[in-house]
Chain A
Amino acid sequence: MKTDSAFLELEDSPRVAVWFDGAELELPEGANLAAALLAAGVGVFRHTPVSSEPRGPFCMMGACFDCLVEIDGIVRQACMTEVVEGLRVSRPHGTGGEHEAE
């Protein structure tokens, strides 16, 4: 477990390997993906399409869509996804400020 996370895990539970943006992380199996990434020290989940500003989880209840990540080519809400072994998660492509300036 990374110690530089802004979040503390109260209990330990069995972990599985998950990839986030090419880095291997050990996350609790069956955990909420957004919570597990936060606890592992991941703060920035994506950059906005409009201005490339960094974003992370905000509501944790599937309403705000700020925790979007890409899994198997599909952009999904990390807070609505469970950790399973071998999950390959990345920051969403095509949301890095490719919008043309007005």
Chain B
Amino acid sequence: MKRSDLVIIGAGPAGMAAATTAAEHGLSVTLLDEQSRPGGQIYRDVDRAVEKRGGILGPDFGHGRTLTRALRESAVEHVTGAVVWSIEDGFRISYTKGGRAAQVAADRILLATGALERPMPVPGWTLPGVMTAGAAQILLKQSGVIARRAVLVGSGPLLYLIAAQMVRAGTPPLALVETQSRADLRRAARHAGGALRGWPYLAKGLKLMAEIARARVPRFTGATDIAIEGAGRAETVSFRSGGKSRRLVCDTVLLHHGVVPNTQAARSIGVAHRWNATQAAFSPVVDRWGITGVEGVYIAGDGAGIGGAEVAEVAGRLASLQIAAEAGRLSEAERDRLAAPLFRKKARDMAIRPFLDAAFPPATEALLPEDKTIICRCEEVTAGDIRRYAQMGSLGPNQTKAFGRPGMGPCQGRYCGLTVTAILSEANGQTPDETGYFRIRPPLKPVTLGELAAMETPQQDAAE
């Protein structure tokens, strides 16, 4: 089995920056990523996408090319199309690539698995034609495919970004249905100091909103009672806004109310997680270098708590400086000298977050959906089912699996875990930390017997 000083999982901004930094300091690095080209989701397929449609996607997206270029020019072994399904002590990482299972050993592991869209269970969200706003972005970046008649629903800066990109592509969305209210904005005003420190972000946001306004895209705010309906696919979105009931006809509904850390890999190897009330999500417990409570395991980027692409890039470099120091490739004094400007940049880039978190909170009705709404897409378990399990004495998410299989389908709770925790916490009068989260076990992604049978055996390794 191949052995590396460091295995990094995820080739987004954190993973790419960490990999090149670690390699610069002499570590052997294997970078595993599911996609066929580097970039992660935020810089998905950036090298090809910028050539074809950089004008639509904007300069912030183009920045990703500096990371992919550095990665190409480094000594990092980047394994594309690698789906990691198990991390074992020692460390031994198992993954599937091209229909075959394979393994790589490492002294240290950096998890850079990024974020997932916060689940937004509203009535009808399982209908074909309903996607996440992130999915729309991925379609545009990687494939140049754009929804003709879309309504964007939810809250947060990503909604304005995708709306502005759709405007630039000549296919503006039909409407923005926004769940945040004026009261949220008033609460956010308390964080005006941080917002002003993060003024470049604020300026970008206002520019996006101006683009949307110029294209005369209708915006409805303070939206509640959101429901998507249609015969076999999404056809309408209904909601209440400004004291009126409305119904918009469309082909595509794009949901978004923030992103949350993707904690699957970290949880599978016993990294402790805590509820972050500001971000309304669980985050792994890490220090400022990305060190976790599990020796040899580090986390950088949105997977360690949402900060965005620029923070992720910096966090990846910081983690690798620490790893290089631990591996004896860098003195602590040198590490600190290189880290100082990075910590300053990270603090500057994080200054806007409290304002954003307050101005664009998650939609309450999608955190605690009405009984009839499906919350586990895979096993089609409803919010009412979870409340029933709570009445039957289910205190934690793992117990609910025995009642109705939530979180046991192929997505393994990625799009229902937070909802199950929220509903149980409310029903049982517990905090999210007391309620806990699904226990995550390997395989992290489904692996077939055929893929396992095609795995290189240790004997073959010895003969190499």
Contact = CB atoms under 8 A, between A and B. Distances in A.
Contact of A80 (B34, B145, B171, B252): B34
Contact of B143 (A39, A48, A51): A39
Main secondary structure of the interface of A (DSSP, over half): loop
Contacts of B138: 60-61
B143 A31 contact: yes
B52 interface: yes
Contacts of B139: 7, 35, 38, 60
B300 to A, nearest CB: 19
A11 B54 CA distance: 13
Nearest to B146: A8
Contacts of A10: 52-53, 56, 144-146, 169
Contacts of B128: 43-45, 54-56
Contact of A62 (B34, B53, B130, B143): B34
A85 B380 CA distance: 35
Contact of B377 (A31, A38, A58): A58
Contacts of B126: 53, 55, 66
A82 B36 contact: yes
- Most chain B CB inside 10 Å of its own CB: which residue of A7, A45, A54: A7
Interface residues of A, number: 37
Interface stretch (B103-111, B314-322, B407-415): B407-415
A55 B124 CA distance: 11
A24 B162 CA distance: 32
A65 interface: yes
Given A6-B252, A54-B232, A58-B130, A64 B415 contact: yes
Nearest to B262: A63
Nearest to A74: B448
A59 B117 contact: yes
Given A6-B251, A7-B139, A65 B378 contact: yes
A32 B129 contact: no
14 contacts: A8-B146, A8-B171, A35-B145, A44-B128, A45-B128, A50-B379, A55-B126, A56-B128, A57-B131, A59-B415, A60-B139, A61-B41, A62-B34, A63-B116
